[in-house]
Amino acid sequence: MSSLPLPSHIHYELLLQLLERQTLPALTHNSPLHEQVQQIVINLRKALAQQKQLESSCTQAHLPIEYRWSLNASSTTNGLVTGPLPQNDVLNGNTSGL
């Protein structure tokens, strides 16, 4: 039986930390934008909780789970990156293709 690909929990955690530690403090408290970001945080927490419920159902159904770090399935094995990481041209200073 093949495994079910799911995003790694770290994807949710990274987004939540960014929004809570940097985005929210940069906004005026009780402003409409602050409320929008709060709703995003709530929705991300719900999405993570729903994924955990799905994982529990998969475990009960004896369906293996493969946590994914990217969309590139060929570079992962059991959720671990086995090949070289893709290069980010912008981070490397190459903006000629932009």
Write down the pLDDT at residue 78: 52
pTM: 0.69
Measure the CA–CA gap between 2 and 9, rounded to whole angstroms: 20
Position 88 confidence tier, pLDDT thresholds 50, 70, 90: very low
Q: Work out the angle between the directed axes of helices 32-60 and 9-18 (0-180°, nearest 10).
A: 170
Nearest to 65 by CA among 78, 53, 74, 75: 78
Extract the tokens encoding 57: 């159902």
**Dist CA 49 CA 53 (whole Å):** 6
pLDDT at 89 over 70: no
- Separation of alpha carbons 38 and 43, rounded Å: 9
pLDDT in tens, 57-74: 999 999 999 999 888 864
